[in-house]
């Protein structure tokens, strides 16, 4: 009697368990779309949970540990970029000292400082200031916006130079140079002969000088990439000239243009005379020196007068013969032979 009751109870329990399993399967099938997202989130968070629960050896990257899988699935970090930023602003303001104080406040609030500063004043009394500002790169854009608000922006130039390759090259050369200096020091410790010590000391001095030059270059690059350079030019507002309604020149314009041309011609004539005057003065001085000091001391040459040729002797003039007397009348005159 007991054996059949136990078999029946087992079959009844199996039927209840089977019905419960079917009910659970139906519920999971109805909520499959909602449960998949939660399952995915749990699967994604599982490696992190296992990494936190893992022992120290597994966290540090033990072979086969969960840290290896997390490191393999993590995206690579982007390489740091090193950029030198420079900008120049030209702003017209009404009050230069007040605008300069405002620019100084903006720079100091951003964590920067003022470098060179030059202030000039023209013939009309207008003041002009040129100042060089060094500001952190993170506050570069904000500082530019603050400086532009000091007045009317006339000109803005901004440049960016990527020197990442140069920075990486300098760092690599510094590492190699330090290792080279360390090797020279080890050789000096092992050297026994004086000649070897002297040679190694000279080589060590050369390599240390190269290392210091590389370190100075690295510091310069770090300074230029961490601090941006902004050149700010501030000038006072100048009164605007009245604009003529018509563009045709009038009598006054022609007279003014002619006067300007005449003054320009006189200026060039004065420049030409001024350029020639030293040479003319030097020439006059040389002529006076020659005529007054040098020429009188020169030996004078005596002129030899050539003898006069003999005067030609004139032929004797024949004496005049007396006229013949007339003979008596009727006597024929005798012809002269």
Same domain, 109 and 178: no
Provide the residue count of the chain: 337
Query: How sure is the predictor about 148, in pLDDT bands with cuts at 50, 70 and 90?
Result: confident
Same domain, 108 and 153: yes
Same domain, 158 and 219: no
Please tell me which residue, 293 or 88, carries the higher pLDDT value: 88
Sign of the alpha-carbon torsion through 146, 149, 150, 152 = positive
What is the pTM for the complete model shown? 0.44
Same domain, 158 and 169: no
Q: Work out how many domains the chain is built from and give that number.
A: 2
Domain boundary among 133, 163, 193: 163
Same domain, 187 and 135: no
pLDDT recorded at residue 149: 84
The verdict on residue 23 lying in a domain is: no
Same domain, 178 and 156: no
Please tell me which residue, 30 or 92, carries the higher pLDDT value: 92
Same domain, 176 and 128: no
Please tell me which residue, 20 or 128, carries the higher pLDDT value: 128
pLDDT recorded at residue 179: 94
Same domain, 148 and 203: no
List the one residue out of 301, 314, 131 whose CA is nearest residue 233.
131
Q: Phi and psi at residue 92, in whole multiples of 5°?
A: -100, 125
Distance in angstroms (rounded) separating the CA atoms of residues 291 and 49: 115
pLDDT recorded at residue 302: 63
The verdict on residue 155 lying in a domain is: yes
Query: pLDDT tens digits for 167-211?
Result: 999 999 999 999 999 999 999 888 888 888 899 899 999 999 999
99-107 own/partner pairs: CB under 8 Å, 24+ apart = 99/150, 99/151, 99/234, 100/129, 100/131, 100/234, 102/150, 103/131, 103/133, 103/146, 103/147, 103/150, 103/232, 103/234, 106/143, 106/146, 106/147, 107/133, 107/135, 107/143
- Within 10 angstroms of residue 259's Cβ, the number of other Cβ atoms is 10
Distance in angstroms (rounded) separating the CA atoms of residues 74 and 78: 12
Query: How sure is the predictor about 316, in pLDDT bands with cuts at 50, 70 and 90?
Result: low
Q: 3-state class of 185 per DSSP?
A: helix
Q: 3-state class of 3 per DSSP?
A: helix
Query: pLDDT tens digits for 66-84?
Result: 444 444 454 444 456 889 9
The verdict on residue 148 lying in a domain is: yes
- Return the minimum-mean-pLDDT range out of 57-66, 187-196, 246-255, 299-308: 57-66
Same domain, 153 and 174: no
List the one residue out of 155, 158, 310, 301 whose CA is nearest residue 233.
155
The verdict on residue 138 lying in a domain is: yes
Tell me the CATH number at 128. 3.30.70.260
- The parent domain of residue 208 ranges over 165-224
The verdict on residue 154 lying in a domain is: yes
Residues 134-161 have a mean pLDDT of 89
Same domain, 151 and 110: yes
Query: How sure is the predictor about 292, in pLDDT bands with cuts at 50, 70 and 90?
Result: confident
The verdict on residue 172 lying in a domain is: yes
The verdict on residue 90 lying in a domain is: yes
Same domain, 173 and 120: no
Same domain, 101 and 172: no
In this prediction, what percent of the chain has a pLDDT beyond 90? 23
pLDDT recorded at residue 136: 92
Helices H / strands E in the chain, number of each: 9, 5
List the one residue out of 226, 227, 231 whose CA is nearest residue 132.
231
The verdict on residue 277 lying in a domain is: no
Domain boundary among 176, 197, 224: 224
């Amino acid at each position: 009697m007991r054996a059949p009751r136990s078999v029946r109870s087992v079959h009844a329990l199996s039927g209840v368990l089977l019905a419960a399993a079917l009910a659970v399967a139906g519920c999971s099938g109805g909520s499959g779309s909602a449960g998949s997202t939660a399952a995915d989130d749990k699967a994604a968070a599982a490696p992190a949970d296992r990494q936190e629960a893992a022992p120290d050896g597994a966290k540090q990257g033990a072979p086969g540990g969960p840290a290896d899988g997390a490191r393999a699935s993590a995206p690579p970090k982007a390489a740091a970029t090193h950029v030198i930023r420079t900008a120049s602003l030209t702003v017209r303001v009404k009050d230069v000292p007040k605008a300069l104080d405002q620019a100084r406040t903006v720079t100091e609030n951003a964590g920067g400082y003022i470098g060179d500063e030059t202030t000039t004043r023209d013939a009309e009394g207008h003041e002009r200031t040129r100042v060089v500002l060094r500001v952190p790169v993170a506050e570069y854009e904000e500082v530019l916006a603050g400086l532009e608000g000091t007045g009317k922006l006339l000109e803005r130039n901004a440049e960016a130079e990527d020197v990442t390759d140069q920075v990486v090259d300098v760092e690599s050369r510094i590492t190699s140079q330090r290792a080279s200096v360390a090797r020279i020091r080890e050789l000096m410790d092992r050297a026994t002969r004086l000649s070897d010590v002297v040679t190694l000391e000279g080589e060590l001095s050369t390599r240390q000088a190269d290392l210091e030059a590389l370190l100075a270059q690295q510091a310069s690059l770090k300074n230029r990439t961490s601090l941006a350079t902004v050149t700010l030019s501030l000038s006072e507002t100048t009164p605007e000239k009245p604009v003529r309604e018509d563009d045709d020149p009038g009598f006054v314009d022609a007279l003014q243009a002619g006067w300007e041309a005449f003054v320009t011609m006189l200026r060039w004539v004065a420049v030409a005379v001024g350029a020639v005057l030293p040479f003319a003065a030097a020439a006059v001085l040389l002529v006076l020196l020659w005529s007054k000091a040098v020429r009188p001391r020169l030996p004078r040459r005596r002129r030899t007068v050539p003898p006069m040729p003999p005067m030609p002797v004139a032929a004797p003039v024949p004496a005049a013969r007396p006229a013949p007397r007339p003979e008596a009348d009727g006597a024929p005159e005798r012809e002269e032979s």
